[in-house]
Amino acid sequence: MSTHDWLMGQLVRSEARFRVIDHAPEGRTEPASLLRRHALAQAAKCLVVRVALTRRTRRYVLAVVPGDRKVDLDGIRDMYSGKEASFAARDVAERLAGSVSGSVMPFARDPELDLVVDPDLLVHDEIFFNAARLDRSVALATADYLALARPRVESIAQHPLAQRMTG
């Protein structure tokens, strides 16, 4: 079963309040948000982060932040008491997420992947994300997302002022 089919099954079985949005293939958050016609802050930007705990052990985190923010890698590193944090290699991220880069959804199915969501995304009634496909997205009621995904909620997005200073 594809990751997309798994997601659709979960949404239907749980009677989640959602809409499917078909659009031109797009994996970048800002252009996808324009295609879906919503505020960038409502987009669930999903990135797989590799946290080095020791020289030989690591933990992978599916970091989900608002689309208008960047992931705070140092904050994730500190949250896990790690030595460093960086974006996972593309092949590793795609394997753990079960979809190609740019279509990662804010659900962690792989036991190697911890799901951590920034609370600033959750202030909206509805969030938007690619549904494990570049040409299909989902608008999902935030309350239903929380009930289904059961993420760890932590401040993992850079503050807007810090973003402007770092680029």
Token duo for residue 125: 């009634």
b/e burial code for range 103-114 (CB count within 10 A of at least 16 → b)? bbbbbbbeeebb
The structure's pTM equals: 0.93
Let me know: does 96 contact 60? Beta carbons within 8 Å: yes
Q: How confident is the model at residue 162, as a pLDDT?
A: 52
Stretch among 8-17, 44-53, 70-79, 154-163 having the lowest mean pLDDT: 154-163
Separation of alpha carbons 49 and 62, rounded Å = 6
CA 71 to chain centre: 10
Task: Measure the CA dihedral 161/122/127/125, to 10°.
Answer: -120
Task: State pLDDT tens for residues 77-110.
Answer: 999 999 999 999 999 999 999 999 999 999 999 9
**CATH number for the domain including 75?**
3.90.960.10
Residues 6+ apart with CB under 8 A from 126: 38, 42, 139, 140, 141, 142
CA 48 to chain centre: 8
Separation of alpha carbons 46 and 101, rounded Å = 9
Let me know: does 57 contact 50? Beta carbons within 8 Å: no
Task: State pLDDT tens for residues 47-85.
Answer: 999 999 998 999 999 999 999 999 999 999 999 999 999
Residue 105 domain boundaries: 3-166
Is it the case that residue 163 has pLDDT exceeding 90? no
As for how many domains the chain has, the answer is: 1
Eight-class DSSP state of 107? -
